[in-house]
Structure 1
């Protein structure tokens, strides 16, 4: 699972192209990304920094 987190971070940071990963990894990353988008109620999460920023803001809202 740690490896998938690294893939997700690299993908969101733009360091890797999703097409370079195998089919299983691609599907998992797409599911992760959709879950993050749903959690943060936004249309598109394109960088991990935006994810971290939203997590930081969410923490202070609670």
Structure 2
């Protein structure tokens, strides 16, 4: 696995944890884990998790 893919997966993993354990807004979580672009964050999150960050936070896809 290329390093960039590994890094994105780790960032999404950290974002999942923050979505479950904090009341931070999704854009704040995206920034906190290292994504500068919300659209890119949402796209990669959905590609890896199968749902959008908003859906994940609501309990879908867990």
Computing the radius of gyration from Cα coordinates, the structure with the larger value is: 1
TM-score normalised by L of structure 1: 0.38
TM-score normalised by L of structure 2: 0.38
Higher relative contact order (CA 8 A, sep 6+): 1
